[in-house]
Structure formats: C-alpha cells, structure tokens
Structure 1
Amino acid sequence: MTETVPIETLTGSDRFNAHVARPDDDPTAAIIVIQEIFGVNAGIRRKCDNLAAAGYLAVAPDLFWRIEPGVELDPDIEEEFQRALDLMGEFNQDAGIRDIEATIHHIRRELGVEKVGAVGYCLGGRLAYMTAARTDIDASVGYYAVGIDQLLGEKHAIANPLVLHIAVEDGFVDKDTQKRMHEALDDHPRVTLYDYPGVDHGFATEFGKRRDEEAAKLADERTAAFFDQHLR
C-alpha cells in the first residue's frame, strides 16, 4: 500500500509531504529513500515499492518542497535534466538534512518503527553521508554520492554503519575525488566503499538509459544484505 503523508518540520512551523510504501505485514524497520535531483519521481517510488516488498516501511520525503513541492523529473529528457540541475543549485542541503531528521523522528514517534535506515542516490547519496554524520540514523547507504571529498571533515561523527557505492567512471565524481574518498574512509571502522568499474553515474536507476543491470544488481544485493544485518 502506498500513500502520501505529511511530516512536521523540526521547528513545528511547517509540513512537507512524503511518499510512503507499506509492507503487507507490520515492519520491524523503516528505510528513508533519499531522492536524486529529479525529485520523488517514478524511479524513487519504485525503490520504495521494492523495499516494501522486502518487508520495510519505505519513506521518501519531498526534499525540494521549499523550492517547488511535488517535483517529478525524467533525467532522459534534456529540458527536465537541466531543470533538475537548476533545482540542485537552489537546494539548501543543510535544511534537507533537517527534513531527513524530521522524517526519522516521524517514523519513530508517529509510525512506531524504532529502527530506521536511509538509502540515497546522487544528491541523495551525498545526503545519506551527511545523514550518517549528523543524525542518529541506524544505517545508511549512498549510491554514486557527489561531493563527498568536501565532507570528509565530518567522517569522525559517523557512529553507525555506512556503505558508499562508487561508479568508477562517474562523470560527476572524478578519479582524484574517488581516491581521496578511499584514502580518508577505507580505514574508518563504520564505513565500507564498493567500486563498480566501467559504469557511470546513475547506474542503479530503476528506469532509463543510465541503468547498468549487472552493476545495479550487485549493488542492490549488497545493500539488501547490509540492511538485513543492521536493521533486522
């Protein structure tokens, strides 16, 4: 079952919507699905459906709500891709993390699910790293996260497990950045990095030309095992 639910901000002064997919049975854990720059679109909703089918409560907050509520863009349409880049430039990432934290509180207090993980893609991958460093999320996964080299100073605040999936041929994350990520994080006791040779940014998208089936299947299997270990 899917529905749209309102979530109160941390200050209690406003509300934003989240797409929620519920499993058939009562969930023992929840996973926040953090959007790409394309909003809570069909691909993100499919991610939620897949997690609900695996028994999780899946919640995808609309993080662009302060700019434009209800954004749904297709990365394979050039005009919509450019609009997504514009939204990325307007987006306040610190406010986004506060909205993710509000979503964690909502899941625990209002929905009664104590264990909460997060998985994010692209911008959401970066926000998954920030969530691991700035909140008490139980476990986090970031796919092809952008700009992590700018956030390595926060690594000491990561107290719970984090996985980062790295596209080796990522057009938005060059090899030098990937090297800095490995140098800073490989010895972190809570962080695991996986490299996917030969694939580009967006390889695990549910729809469209960016998807690489083999790499997506491997990354998703690793993610599923990770959440089984840390959230079940």
Structure 2
Amino acid sequence: MGEMIDVAALNGEGSFKAYRADPAGKPNAAIIVIQEVFGVNPGIRQKCDRLAEQGYLAIAPDLFWRIAPGVELNPDVPEELQKGLDLFGQFNQDAGIRDIEASIHKARELLGGTGKVGAVGYCLGGRLAFMTACRTDIDAAVGYYGVGVDGLLGEKHAIANPVMMHIAGEDGFVDKATQQKMHEGLDDHPKVTLYDYPGEDHGFATEMGDRRSPEAADLADQRTAAFFAEHLG
C-alpha cells in the first residue's frame, strides 16, 4: 500500500527516508508514526497502512538515518533486540524531534496546506510523541508505553494540544515508580489523558510478534482511533 519518500531535514542537514501510506480517498488529516528502536520495520509500516485504511495520510520517518539508515530489526530475535537497544543509546533525541518536525511540515505540504497533523509513537516513539507535544505545534499526540517520560515532566507546561498516553502496568522498561510519577505529574493536566493496562508488558500493541497482547492492543487502538477522530477531524 505504501512507498518510501524523501523528507527534507531542517537546517539544511540533508534528507531522510520515510514510509508513506495513502488512504483510498483524499485525506483530511495526517498522522506521523514514530518508530520503536527497531526502525521503520514491517510492524511500523503496518501501523501506517492501518491508519491509511482509516482515512489518514500516514508517514513514518526513518529517525535512525544518521546512525543506521534503513535499519529494520525484529525484536523477537535477541541479537536484533540488543542492536535496537544499542541504537537507542546512540540516538540524538533532539535531532529526532527536528526530524519529526520536518515530517510534520512534509505532511502539511502533502495535505495541500490544510488539515491537521497528529503523531503516534511506540516505545522510544512513545517518549518522542510526548516530546513532540511539548516542542512542536502537533495537533494531537499519542504515546504507547513511552520510556522515561517522568524525566520530561518539566516540559509539560508547553503542551498546548491533546495528548493520550497508554501505560503498560508490568512494563519491563517503565517501573511502577515511574508510572506513579507520570500519574502524579500529568493526571491534572487539562490536555493529557493517561490509560493504564494492568498486567500488560512493554510492546503489547505491536502489530506482530511475541510481544502482542491482542485484547489490550485492540482496546488501546480503539481509544487512539476515537481520540484522533475527535481531534483531527
């Protein structure tokens, strides 16, 4: 359904690839799909395809283009999981936000200058979705099992548009204390909604593979679809 396109980076840094999926008809809004540490792999491309089926223009930028362009990893293979974690350690998150902002610009261009743009991210992408809400003019953002969000709460005052966060109750990368800090910091924020998924582990909403938990994934995705329908419509 989709194709790879070029996106011009900000500040004359060059260009990077992004996966683009188009709906059958003319889209009224676009969604930036923010990768996990495993690159724009088949699961992320399938996320885009599903959003296109819902009527959105979906774009997944290759945020690792500076360190491992075009990398695609399978988290169910231990060596590839470790490589993803290693790439996370090398990744410049501020540069990643600039690339997401460039992708927002590209999406608005492809929409003809009208229409809203949202973002949805997973794992690393869940963290970056929160940062995108704090640092860009994204119209709506959703983060799935974002890591280290407790360390970003000092930026929450900058959130101007709606944000939804899905929290895995038994997340191996986000412990109970971190989850509690997220609730303490964000429950009273007028633009932020948090949902907990008790008993679920990190990666429960992946499209494929061993981590997927179908019932929880479907519930989270239904909430996300309703959220975007409300705020990007």
Scaled by the length of structure 1, the TM-score of the pair is 0.99
Deviation of the 1:110 alpha carbon:
4.4
Deviation of the 1:3 alpha carbon:
1.0
Per the alignment, residue 12 of structure 1 pairs with: 12
Per the alignment, residue 24 of structure 2 pairs with: 24
Structure 2 counterparts to residues 29-178 of structure 1, below 5 A: 29-112=29-112, 113-178=114-179
Q: Is the Cα contact below 8 Å between 1:73 and 1:80 reproduced in 2?
A: yes
Alpha-carbon distance in 1 for matches of 2:3, 2:117: 19
Q: Deviations over 1:21-54 (max 9, x none)?
A: 0001000000000000000000000000100000
Alpha-carbon distance in 2 for matches of 1:164, 1:111: 26
Alpha-carbon distance in 2 for matches of 1:206, 1:27: 23
Deviation of the 1:111 alpha carbon:
4.2
Secondary structure at the aligned position of 1:55 is classed as: coil
Q: Is the Cα contact below 8 Å between 1:107 and 1:114 reproduced in 2?
A: no
Structure 2's unaligned 5+ residue stretches are none
Alpha-carbon distance in 2 for matches of 1:162, 1:81: 28
Query: Which amino acid in the other structure matches residue 180 of structure 1?
Result: K
Q: Is the Cα contact below 8 Å between 1:62 and 1:70 reproduced in 2?
A: yes
Query: Which amino acid in the other structure matches residue 153 of structure 1?
Result: G
Query: Which amino acid in the other structure matches residue 209 of structure 2?
Result: G
Q: Deviations over 1:91-134 (max 9, x none)?
A: 00000000000111111124425310000000000000000000
Query: Which amino acid in the other structure matches residue 26 of structure 1?
Result: K
Per the alignment, residue 222 of structure 1 pairs with: 223
**Which of structure 1's runs of 4+ aligned residues deviate more than 4 A?**
none
Question: Mean Cα displacement is larger for which, 112-121 or 215-224?
Answer: 112-121
Q: Give the CA RMSD over aligned residues.
A: 0.8
Deviation of the 1:13 alpha carbon:
3.3
Question: Mean Cα displacement is larger for which, 86-95 or 11-20?
Answer: 11-20
Per the alignment, residue 186 of structure 2 pairs with: 185
Secondary structure at the aligned position of 2:127 is classed as: helix
Query: Which amino acid in the other structure matches residue 225 of structure 1?
Result: A
Identity %: 71
Q: Deviations over 1:75-105 (max 9, x none)?
A: 0001100100110000000000000001111
Deviation of the 1:2 alpha carbon:
1.1
Is 2:195 aligned against 1:194? yes
Deviation of the 1:5 alpha carbon:
0.7
Alpha-carbon distance in 2 for matches of 1:110, 1:15: 16
